Amino acid sequence: MNELLLILGAAGLLVGLAGAVLPLPGPPLSYAGLLCLHYSNYAEFGTTILVSLGLATAVVAVLDYYVPIWGTQRFGGTKYGSWGTAIGVVAGFFVIPGVGLFLGAFLGALIGELIGGAPFQNALKAAFGSFVGFLAGIVMKVILCLVMIVYAAIEVGEYFVL
């Protein structure tokens, strides 16, 4: 059972890190991996660490939806640009794997704003804001997932060193 929890924990942490960039719930998957390790004999995290990382995961999960919208609105975008961003990210993931996420966020916001009747210059500005917000969300998720991986590596490493 402990070995299964170790494998699930490591898989959760790594898939969570990938999910920080891909359209998957990255930090929640990493946190689930951390919990698997905690309930195994290979790692034991303090209550403060588990609660802090759990709260950080919840905050980042909420901000992940808000930050691209904020970026779009901050640069003069409307709900059309926000919807375009969301649709563009999903479409970009399937059309051009890898770079499609980034391109999709930008083009989705641009097309959304143009559909909403915005002049091209305003639509371009909103698309840039959406892209900035999208990148900020990715950076935020990657950092949190890496923090969880570092804590897990330290704990699991201590088990094998001792």
Provide the mean pLDDT of the chain: 89
Q: Is the distance from CB of 109 to CB of 84 less than 8 angstroms?
A: yes
Residues 102 and 86: their CA atoms lie apart, in Å, by 11
Pick 116 or 23 by higher pLDDT. 116
pLDDT score of 27 more than 90:
yes
Where are the domains positioned within the chain? 2-161
48 in helix, strand or coil?
A: helix
pLDDT score of 162 more than 70:
no
| pTM, two decimal places | 0.81
pLDDT score of 92 more than 90:
no
